[in-house]
A and B are shown apart, each in its own frame.
Chain A
Amino acid sequence: MSLEARVRLRRGTFELDVELAVEAGETVAVLGPNGCGKTTLLHALAGLIPIEEGRFTLDGVVLEDPAQGIAVSTEDRPVAVVFQNQLLFPHMSALDNVAFGLRCHGRPRAEARRIARTWLEGMGLGDRARARPGALSGGQGQRVALARALAVEPRLLLLDEPLAAVDVQGRAELRRDLRRHLASFGGVRLLVTHDPLEAFALADRVIVLERGHVVQTGTPAAVTARPRSRWVADLAGVNLFHGRADGNRVTLDDGGALVIPDRAAPAGDVFAAVHPRAIALLQAKPEGTPRNVWRGPIDEIDVEGPIARIRVSTVPPVIAEVTTAAVEALSLAPGQDVWVTIKATEIALYPG
């Protein structure tokens, strides 16, 4: 079982152009900032928004192909959605919400309710079956929404920000439950989220979507180790530079240059990632081997417990991470000029 999709559509000036393939038994997260088109993608796969170009097959069955004039309607797709705001039917009990899809799939009322009850019990909500959605907590509502989607036995399960509706306390528990239920669901699992923690906790593979286009795919570890966009770099908390490598020098797009070990990168476009811990701040100009040495004013100091993240307006601008003890020892303060150094061997280089 697998999902293969190429989705192209325009909404006003926004263009979504995504290609993805997901195997059954695999959970893939589409990760991206707000407005990147991830919810639009999800709605397109569910058939709620028509695609203009592309093709969408599930287990080899074509669900949508505008070129061939094929567009299976939403209700006939073996696709279920857990929506961002749950979208439980407010006029039905939790039980009837779960039974609704079963009734639509032709199950008699009593049987639908019996199956729905089993699902609710599986979610630990057997005693909330008669409650209206308005009386459920965020976490309970999300479990009902999940039960409602899984009960129709879809072959593709789409989840839109599945943890967003839950407060921080309930989130860890819901995340654990969600992982368990996703693992026991045999179909294709695709979730979209803007929260990297959610993506990394639930997904085997991440697809990073920005401005309607895929910028990176891979395991969570691979994506954060080698970010390919500013947004991912910020998520991973690393400094990311892009430029052209030539010998032991990378000329950066946004000004400045990096010195790298000889033949560390082939000539051409490269990304260079530097962890903030690998950046040193000094009061006096350093002597000796480090060759990436710049001077600039401190922009901002952000203290989090024993660690301080310091933004320095050098060319290129960098974020360094030092201990708060070091901040005091060097008496660092915003506005003050400091020397910044990066060892060439601390720079991770990969093709851009």
Chain B
Amino acid sequence: MNHTHERVPVAAALVAALGAALFILPLVGLLWKAPWGDLAGALREPEALMAMRLSLICSLAATAISIVLGLPLAWIQARAEFPGRSLLRALTLLPVVLPPVVGGVALLSVFGRRGLLGQFLDPLGIRLPFTTGGAILAETFVAMPFFVLSMEGVLSTLDRRLEDAARTLGADRWTVFRRITVPLVRPSVAAGAALAWARALGEFGATITFAGNFPGRTQTIPLAVYVQLENRPEAGLALSLVLLAVSLTILVIMRGRWLEAP
């Protein structure tokens, strides 16, 4: 589309500027308040180091699980015809709109000691709540839908005739998926995974509800920011800057894919 640029009415410009300021001002404030003088020192504190290490582990693990479980799920949602398909899609979408704290409560009611599955897992020594595994599960719960949604879109627009061609050459369905479908969608997998990873990295509500707030075990960066802001604001600000930097990096790398003007 090649619209000629319209003259912008003054009133609309003012309101739009107000809207943009809503996003921009807090960023400016964060940069202004940041402890630039002792940024390195604040990040070298043991709590900060632990939080960053834990966040990295949990978010990467959550992303990996999202890919391994999410790709087949996206494939089935995009391709298969079965009763309840739209219901499944709606349920996959739910964590995107569900308040994360409710997700945490829901996870507790399944994996808690007297939960739906937890009552059977607990005697076996498998305990997820208030463990690093629980933090990973909470992050996966909120992050995976982003991956599934973006992959579902890609898979439904893929040229299926290529898969037909592979089948005429003797490839069974698994071979087609592994050697044709997956390689063809690999660039989109990276983009979807980056989206999920960013979401996992910032996860707060479900994690603190389901996994608690234990330094070194479940206290990821967002939790550490929240706690530190009370007693040592400069540490909280420094960690916030780390998250901001990561987000901006992802945005820059993925801008071609996400920010393309329609």
Contacts and interface: CB of A to CB of B under 8 A. Distances in A.
Nearest to B168: A81
B166, B169, B180, B184: residue with the most chain A Cβ atoms closer than 10 Å: B169
Interface in B150-186: 159, 161-162, 164-172, 175, 179-180, 183-184
A71 to B, nearest CB: 14
Contacts of A87: 159, 161-162, 164-165
Interface residues of A, number: 24
Contact of A100 (B164, B171, B172): B171
B175 A104 contact: yes
A97 B176 CA distance: 13
A79 B171 CA distance: 12
A256 to B, nearest CB: 47
A91 B172 contact: no
Contact of A91 (B159, B165, B183): B183
A46 B168 CA distance: 7
A232 interface: no
A83 interface: yes
A79 to B, nearest CB: 7
A90 B180 CA distance: 9
Contact of B170 (A43, A75, A89): A75
Given A83-B161, A83-B165, A87-B161, A104 B170 contact: yes
Interface string B182-221: 0110000000000000000000000000000000000000
Nearest to B183: A91
A323 to B, nearest CB: 49
B166 A100 contact: yes
A92 to B, nearest CB: 8
Given A90-B184, A104-B175, A152 B165 contact: no
Contact of B180 (A79, A80, A85, A89): A89
Contacts of A101: 169-171
A216 interface: no
B162 A152 contact: no
B72 to A, nearest CB: 20
Given A89-B180, A91-B183, A100-B179, A152 B161 contact: no
A152 B166 contact: no
A89 B166 contact: yes
Contacts of B162: 87, 89-90
A80 B169 CA distance: 6
A91 B172 CA distance: 19
B169 A100 contact: yes
Nearest to A76: B170
User: 8 smallest A-B Cβ distances: which pairs?
Assistant: A101-B169, A104-B170, A87-B165, A74-B167, A91-B183, A81-B168, A104-B171, A75-B167
Interface of A: 43, 46, 48, 73-77, 79-81, 83, 85, 87, 89-91, 100-101, 104-105, 148-149, 152
Interface of B: 159, 161-162, 164-172, 175, 179-180, 183-184
18 contacts: A48-B164, A73-B167, A74-B164, A74-B167, A75-B168, A75-B172, A80-B168, A80-B169, A81-B168, A83-B165, A85-B161, A89-B165, A89-B166, A104-B175, A105-B170, A148-B169, A152-B169, A152-B170
